[in-house]
């Protein structure tokens, strides 16, 4: 491949396969697909698949389609469909053509089921769920044939039609493939192809009473749509045998150019859960506010927290594609968004836990307008106005009565610091409230230190941020940490008991006045505090969600 864009991409086994298939002439172009089941919101693990499938199509100038695997109406909702479409587009990808649904092909699936029955390769089975498990055998013991396995073709066709017409109860019978009950692969021991469901389908209504299983619908959908490379995660590795078996035994698809399945490792992220079932439990048990709770690994949750599409695409690139299952460190995701926001996020100042600072020698009723860079490394972004007066707010954590150690570079009695983008001050005394907590700090300022060091050569090492009191805007800060206290909570049967009690801390502070009308999802670096964005669910209130700290401070306190 001579395409410069391709040469810049890290080569993995999937790209090697595509290169070989194009070079050999097996395919003249590639087509991939992203096939989510609409039974929940997408999470960061799905982003890896989205970036892979859509990214390959872009790089090789091929096509990628969006197809909903909607073969289980009992668990699917239109809300999930819309959220998935929004997430894919938010990540920066567009699918080829219209949105597809497995339900678009229900009539064709049924005809292919009839073809397998006519070939003696499928039969209607009346074993109940418990009997089916017993007949299937174990990993060490072969299964045994169903007593319905040798039902004549004509009767199977009649029974299948009666299933379709709703003549049987849910669970009374299924259509099974006739493969090999002694196969070492459990998925090949006469797997179910169709089951009965009376739920109303969000696309087809009550037109169908039987629905295909994923393994049957997926491979046929791929073939009907012209997919060349069907990319799945490793849990479907054994099922590739069934994928191939179905296509090889259907006349329309038994050819070299039919789709082939390739598996890669799924994304497992530390300090969270990646199972949609477990995520749904968190929502249903109200352990989080909803699917888009900023502590959730869902794309809508990450978006609300302030993660950018670019950072998530970069994260997927950093993680890479392989066949090795591993736990991915949360730090890789946090570094990706931190690196992105460091470049693009404007700077501002916000005081999360404010206490009053009185500048004793500053003129009363005077407000001074100062200039501060919007981005210190990008002068093209310009400057912003900040204000300075006798009364300011500083963060409670930036003051100590006595400096605790030599490394403490914040404000203490008799110790000088610089107020960011303003003057050098020296703390003189302080007041406390009825609980003994510091409420007001008093200081003097050096009027000759705006934008320059003290004239007498004394060195001031510390810098703290502030917000002028009379112009300050009240704001709510939602400080997020990792959702669970353990790296791999999924291993614990009662994973919901491992939620980090400090995963959300709400504080009420102040921000610069220019933050009043910030649009939802707009990212900022609150200087010395971290990266924040305005919450997209709090239109009437000024709420900022913490995206990530300025550096990795997990377990180390405030940076």
**How many angstroms separate the CA atoms of 156 and 411, rounded?**
84
pLDDT band at 2 (very low <50, low <70, confident <90, very high): very low
Residue 553 has pLDDT above 50, yes or no: no
Question: pLDDT digit string (tens) for 11-65?
Answer: 899 999 999 999 999 999 999 999 999 999 999 999 999 999 999 999 999 999 9
Rounded mean pLDDT, 215-243? 96
> Would you say residue 280 lies in a domain?
yes
- The pair phi, psi for residue 97, each rounded to 5°, is 70, -160
Residue 540 has pLDDT above 50, yes or no: yes
**Are 334 and 542 contacting, i.e. CB atoms less than 8 angstroms apart?**
no
**How many angstroms separate the CA atoms of 141 and 509, rounded?**
65
Residue 164 has pLDDT above 90, yes or no: yes
10 burial via Cβ count (<10 Å: 0-12, 13-18, 19+): exposed
Rounded mean pLDDT, 79-84? 97
> Would you say residue 438 lies in a domain?
yes
Active site residue 276: yes
Q: Tell me which residue of 526, 553, 556 sits closest to 341, measured CA to CA.
A: 526
Residue 559 has pLDDT above 60, yes or no: no
Which residues share a beta bridge with 67?
100
Distances (CA, A) of 277 to 75, 282, 492, 522: 11, 9, 15, 31
> Would you say residue 83 lies in a domain?
yes
Torsional sign, CA 77, 86, 283, 275 = positive
pLDDT for residue 456: 84
* 109 & 188 share domain: yes
* 435 & 495 share domain: no
DSSP output for 101-118: EGGGGHHHHHHHHHHHHH
**How many angstroms separate the CA atoms of 104 and 225, rounded?**
11
DSSP output for 114-171: HHHHHTT-EEEE---HHHHHHHH--SSS-----TTTT--HHHHHHHHHHHHTT-S-TT
Distances (CA, A) of 20 to 15, 62, 74, 468: 8, 15, 41, 64
Number of domains in the chain: 3
**Are 230 and 220 contacting, i.e. CB atoms less than 8 angstroms apart?**
no
pTM of the model: 0.92
Task: Return the DSSP state at 261.
Answer: E
DSSP output for 376-394: TT-GGG-EEEEEEESEEEE
CA dihedral 198, 202, 206, 207 (to 10 degrees): -120
Active site residue 37: yes
* 439 & 505 share domain: no
Catalytic residue from among 48, 67, 240, 276: 276
**Are 386 and 349 contacting, i.e. CB atoms less than 8 angstroms apart?**
yes
DSSP output for 190-242: S-EEEEE--SPBTTTBTS-SEEE-HHHHHHHHHHHHT-SEEEEEGGGTTTHHH
> Would you say residue 109 lies in a domain?
yes
**Are 532 and 544 contacting, i.e. CB atoms less than 8 angstroms apart?**
yes
Residue with the two structure tokens 């049967």: 493
Residue 266 has pLDDT above 60, yes or no: yes
pLDDT band at 7 (very low <50, low <70, confident <90, very high): low
Catalytic residue from among 85, 144, 209, 266: 266
What is the helix (H) or strand (E) element at residue 78, kind and residue range? helix 78-90
Torsional sign, CA 56, 59, 60, 64 = positive
Residue 276 has pLDDT above 70, yes or no: yes
Residue 526 has pLDDT above 60, yes or no: yes
Q: Which CATH number does the domain housing residue 314 bear?
A: 1.10.1160.10
Strands (E), 303-423: 327-328, 347-348, 350-351, 354-359, 367-373, 383-389, 391-395, 399-400, 411-412, 416-419
> Would you say residue 523 lies in a domain?
yes
* 60 & 203 share domain: yes
> Would you say residue 470 lies in a domain?
no
What is the helix (H) or strand (E) element at residue 63, kind and residue range? strand 63-68
* 28 & 54 share domain: yes
* 384 & 431 share domain: yes
pLDDT for residue 459: 87
Rounded mean pLDDT, 344-349? 97
Rounded mean pLDDT, 278-307? 96
Question: pLDDT digit string (tens) for 381-435?
Answer: 999 999 999 999 999 999 998 887 877 889 999 889 999 999 999 999 999 999 9
> Would you say residue 535 lies in a domain?
yes
* 440 & 481 share domain: no
> In the listed set 242, 264, 286, which residue is the last one of a domain according to the structure?
264
**Are 385 and 342 contacting, i.e. CB atoms less than 8 angstroms apart?**
no
* 236 & 283 share domain: no
> Would you say residue 76 lies in a domain?
yes
Q: Which CATH number does the domain housing residue 365 bear?
A: 2.40.240.10
* 222 & 158 share domain: yes
**How many angstroms separate the CA atoms of 47 and 36, rounded?**
11
Rounded mean pLDDT, 246-257? 96
> In the listed set 264, 295, 312, which residue is the last one of a domain according to the structure?
264
pLDDT for residue 393: 98
Q: Tell me which residue of 10, 5, 11, 61 sits closest to 31, measured CA to CA.
A: 61
Pairing of strands 347-348, 327-328: unpaired
Question: pLDDT digit string (tens) for 312-335?
Answer: 999 999 999 999 988 999 999 999
C-alpha angle with apex 85: 84 to 89, nearest 5 degrees?
A: 115
Catalytic residue from among 9, 15, 37, 197: 37
**How many angstroms separate the CA atoms of 512 and 531, rounded?**
15
pLDDT for residue 218: 97
Question: pLDDT digit string (tens) for 109-154?
Answer: 999 999 999 999 999 999 999 999 999 999 999 999 999 999 999 9
Active site residue 255: no
**Are 412 and 425 contacting, i.e. CB atoms less than 8 angstroms apart?**
no
Q: How many residues make up the chain in this entry? A: 559
* 245 & 287 share domain: no
The chain-wide mean pLDDT, for the chain, equals 94
* 118 & 191 share domain: yes
**How many angstroms separate the CA atoms of 64 and 54, rounded?**
6
* 186 & 304 share domain: no
> In the listed set 433, 465, 497, which residue is the last one of a domain according to the structure?
465
Q: Which CATH number does the domain housing residue 229 bear?
A: 3.40.50.620
What is the helix (H) or strand (E) element at residue 467, kind and residue range? strand 467-468
Q: Which residue range forms the structural domain that includes residue 444?
A: 350-465
């Amino acid at each position: 491949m001579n395409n410069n864009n391709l040469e810049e991409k890290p080569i993995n086994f999937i790209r090697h396969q595509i290169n070989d298939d194009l070079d050999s002439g097996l395919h003249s172009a590639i087509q991939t697909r992203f096939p989510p089941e609409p039974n929940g919101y997408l999470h960061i693990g799905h982003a890896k698949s989205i970036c892979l499938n859509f990214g390959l199509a872009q790089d090789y100038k091929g096509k990628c389609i969006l197809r909903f695997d909607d073969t289980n109406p009992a668990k699917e909702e239109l809300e999930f469909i819309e959220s998935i479409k929004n997430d894919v587009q938010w990540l920066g990808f567009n699918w080829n053509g219209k949105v597809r649904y497995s339900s678009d092909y229900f009539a064709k699936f049924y005809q292919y089921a009839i073809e397998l029955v006519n070939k003696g390769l499928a039969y209607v089975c009346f074993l109940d769920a418990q009997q089916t498990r017993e007949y299937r055998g174990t990993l060490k013991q072969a299964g045994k044939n169903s007593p319905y396995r040798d039902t004549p073709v004509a009767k199977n066709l009649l029974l299948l039609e009666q299933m379709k017409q709703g003549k049987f109860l849910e669970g009374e019978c299924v259509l099974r493939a006739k493969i090999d009950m002694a196969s070492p692969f459990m998925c090949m021991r006469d797997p179910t192809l169709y089951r009965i469901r009376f739920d109303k389908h969000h696309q087809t209504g009550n037109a169908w009473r039987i629905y295909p299983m994923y393994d049957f619908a997926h491979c046929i959908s791929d073939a009907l749509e012209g997919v060349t490379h069907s990319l799945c995660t490793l849990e479907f590795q054994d099922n590739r045998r069934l994928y191939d078996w179905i296509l090889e035994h259907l006349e329309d698809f038994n050819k070299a150019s039919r789709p082939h399945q390739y598996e890669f490792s799924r994304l497992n992220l530390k300090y969270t859960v990646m199972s949609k079932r477990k995520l749904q439990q968190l929502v249903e048990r109200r352990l989080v506010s909803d699917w888009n709770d900023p502590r959730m690994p869902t794309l809508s949750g990450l978006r609300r927290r302030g993660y950018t599409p670019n950072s998530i695409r970069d994260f997927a690139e950093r993680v890479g594609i392989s066949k090795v299952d591993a736990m991915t460190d949360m730090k890789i995701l946090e570094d990706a968004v931190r690196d992105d926001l460091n470049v693009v996020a404007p700077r501002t100042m916000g005081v999360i836990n404010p206490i009053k600072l009185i500048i004793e020698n500053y003129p009363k009723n005077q407000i001074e307008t100062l200039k501060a860079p919007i981005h210190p490394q990008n002068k093209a972004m310009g400057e912003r106005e900040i204000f300075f007066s006798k009364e300011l707010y500083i963060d409670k954590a930036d003051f100590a009565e006595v400096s605790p150690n030599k490394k403490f570079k914040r404000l203490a009695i008799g110790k000088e610091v610089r107020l960011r983008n303003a003057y050098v001050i020296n703390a003189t005394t302080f007041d406390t409230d009825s609980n003994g907590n510091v409420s007001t700090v008093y200081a003097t300022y050096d009027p000759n230190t705006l934008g320059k060091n003290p004239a007498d050569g004394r060195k001031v090492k510390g810098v703290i941020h502030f917000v002028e009191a009379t112009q300050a805007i009240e704001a709510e800060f939602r400080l997020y940490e990792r959702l669970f206290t353990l790296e791999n909570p999924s291993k614990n049967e009662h994973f919901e008991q491992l939620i980090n009690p400090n995963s959300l801390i709400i504080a009420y502070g102040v921000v610069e006045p220019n933050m009043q009308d910030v649009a939802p999802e707009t990212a900022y670096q609150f200087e010395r505090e971290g990266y924040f964005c305005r919450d997209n669910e709090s239109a009437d209130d000024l709420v900022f969600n913490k995206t990530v700290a300025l550096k990795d401070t997990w377990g180390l306190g405030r940076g």
